[in-house]
Amino acid sequence: MTCALLTGCGGGGGTPYTPGGAVGHVQMDTIRVGDKITIQLTGVPDGGWFNEKQVPPSGDINLPLLTQSFHVPGKTASELGGEITDAYKSQKIYTNPVITVLVEERYINVGGDVRGPSNVPYRPDSTLMSTINACGSFTEYADRRHVRIIRGSQTIMVDCVKAQSTPGADPAVYPGDSIFVPRTPF
């Protein structure tokens, strides 16, 4: 028990973060199953439309007037927009359609000993420390050496004291990640 209290090895569990190590890196600019997307058609004689969809488990969506479906996961918004544009042109439905695909904002959940636990909107440059700072930073009782990033079934342990002082030691975080800041036992 004394060892657990003095060394902080009281069951944090997880893989320690090492700068430069590939820890569950995910391509975040691609659309995933479950994402909410808005597809807008403009530049056509009938005025166009907009369609809001949640990407189903199959990954396939259908759009008005088109005979084909589109497999969405793994594509960027611009790639999907290009495919839809090509389909309307190749099926001779519209000659100059303008397709815009927007992906709904994604979040990172932050809890534990931070001043304002919340869901923080994801940005492509989001890091652990920038996300914690967006929640008002650590409380005075936070255990900054054993912060956990939970990504799917993987837990990544990060020493935020080191992350703040060492260039490259502040890991990137991704939508769907949960960050938990434990309380120090002292």
Within a domain: 20: no
Last residue of a domain, one of 78, 103, 128: 103
46, part of any domain: yes
Q: In this structure, are 48 and 69 located in the same domain? A: yes
Q: Look at residue 182 in the predicted model and tell me its pLDDT.
A: 98
Q: Is residue 49 part of a domain?
A: yes
Q: Is residue 11 part of a domain?
A: no
Q: Which of 87, 103, 119 is the last residue of a domain?
A: 103
- In this predicted structure, the answer to whether residue 13 has a pLDDT above a threshold of 80 is no
Residue 16 inside a domain? The answer is: no
Return the residue matching tokens 């700072």.
133
Residue 58, domain CATH? 3.30.1950
In a domain, residue 6? The reply is no
Tens digit of pLDDT for each residue in 117-160? 999 998 888 999 999 999 999 999 999 999 999 998 999 999 99
How far, CA to CA in Å, does 33 sit from each of 44, 73, 123, 181?
A: 29, 6, 19, 29
Domain that holds residue 42: 36-103
139 and 99 within one domain = no
Show Cβ contacts of residue 165 under 8 Å, excluding neighbours closer than 6 positions.
Answer: none
Q: Is residue 14 part of a domain?
A: no
Beta-sheet strand order (sheet of 118-121): 15-16, 154-158, 147-151, 178-181, 107-112, 118-121
Q: Determine what percent of the chain is predicted with pLDDT higher than 70.
A: 87
- Is 78 found in the same domain as 48? yes
Domain boundary among 88, 103, 118: 103
What letter does residue 182 receive in the DSSP assignment? P
CATH number where 125 lies: 3.10.560.10
Average pLDDT over residues 172-177: 89
Answer yes or no: are the C-beta atoms of 181 and 12 closer than 8 Å. no
Q: How large is the average pLDDT for residues 84-112?
A: 95
Query: What confidence tens digit (pLDDT) does each residue in 46-57 have?
Result: 989 999 999 999
Answer yes or no: do 93 and 67 share one domain: yes
Q: What is the pTM of this model?
A: 0.65
Q: Is the pLDDT of residue 1 over 60?
A: no
- 94 and 121 inside one domain: no
Same domain, 123 and 167: yes
User: Do 44 and 93 fall within a single domain?
Assistant: yes
99 and 117 belong to one structural domain:
no
pLDDT mean over 164-183: 92
Number of domains in the chain: 2
